[in-house]
Amino acid sequence: MTTPSLGFLLRHSVRHPVRTTRRNNHKTIDATGCGLGLLIVVLGFSGLVATWVASMILPLLI
What would the pLDDT profile of 21-36 be if each residue is shown by its tens digit?
Answer: 445 455 555 555 567 7
The 8 Å CB, 24+ separation contacts for 1-10 are 9/39, 10/36, 10/39
Q: What is the pTM for the complete model shown?
A: 0.43
Domain-by-domain residue ranges, the chain? 6-61
The pLDDT assigned to 53 comes to 92
The span from the CA of 43 to the CA of 57, in Å, is: 21
**Residues shown for the chain:** 62
